[in-house]
Amino acid sequence: MADLKALSEAIIHGKADEAKTLVQQALDERVSVETILSDGLIAGMNCVGQEFKANRFYVPEVLIAARAMNQAQALLEPHLKEQGVKAVGKAAVGTVKGDLHDIGKNLVIMMLKGNGFEIMDLGIDVGPAKFLEAANQGADVIGLSALLTTTMPQMKDVVSALKDAGCNVPVMIGGAPVTQNYADEIGAQGYAPDAASAVDVARSLIGA
């Protein structure tokens, strides 16, 4: 039977090959992609976060876990796409300037893709100009991710830059330190606490 506890342990210890095998096993047993993500991959990464915070893990361990997470996550992507519907809109998503965290952003992108969004992945460490460029290139919604309290203010800079340029493309924000209150404060039109709700928020922002 699919062992999601073993999967989260494999992520915690950065065992990418084992994690991929366990993901494949779970998929073969028809465990839903959402369950594999939440009870296996994200559960493992959350534990890594706690260990990092308690100084029991250091940056190399976190990076190895992140690599395992990314590789295992890639196996899920085609299955999410299979469940998807036809293109509902174009989303440009990036992690804001000064911030290198991309696991959450990649999950959001994966869920959006799986639910029929066309994606412009702007990457990490993205400044306001690149978000504005994406809006001018036809993005229907802009997604900003930030994991650091020190990079959250960058979100405000992006919202202001779009506004100053007269651009009406709605902005959705998210990331561990981000809240609905913060979205309201900076004038972002949407906030999503996790990748699954990011899909609902993006849909509602573009009226899909």
Tell me if 114 contacts ligand B1M by CB under 6 A.
no
Within residues 78-97, the interface with ligand B1M by CB under 6 A covers 93
- Do residues 55 and 103 touch, judged by C-beta distance below 8 A? no
Q: Which stretch, 11-19, 59-67, 115-123, 156-164, contacts ligand B1M (CB under 6 A)? A: 59-67
- Does residue number 147 form part of the binding site for ligand B1M (CB under 6 A)? yes
CA–CA dist 101, 119 (Å, integer): 18
Half-sphere exposure at residue 165, Cβ-oriented, CA atoms within 13 angstroms: 18
- Supply 194's token pair: 């996790």
Min dist CB 108 to ligand B1M, Å, is: 5
Q: In what order do the strands lie in the sheet with 141-145?
A: 117-126, 89-96, 141-145, 171-174, 190-191
Q: What is the nearest approach in angstroms of ligand B1M to the Cβ of residue 105?
A: 5
Q: Which of residues 12-51 bind ligand B1M (CB under 6 A)?
A: 42, 45-46, 48-49
- Binding to ligand B1M by residue 62, rule CB under 6 A? yes
Q: Would you count residue 59 as binding ligand B1M (CB under 6 A)?
A: yes
Q: Which residues, at least 6 apart from 27, have a Cβ–Cβ distance to it below 8 Å? A: 33, 36, 75, 76, 79
Closer by beta carbon to ligand B1M, 89 or else 174: 174
Q: Which two tokens stand for residue 126?
A: 């993205």
What is residue 172's three-state secondary structure? strand
Which residues of this protein are in contact with ligand B1M, per CB under 6 A? 42, 45-46, 48-49, 52-53, 59, 62-63, 66, 93, 98-105, 107-108, 143-145, 147-150, 172-177, 192, 194-195, 198
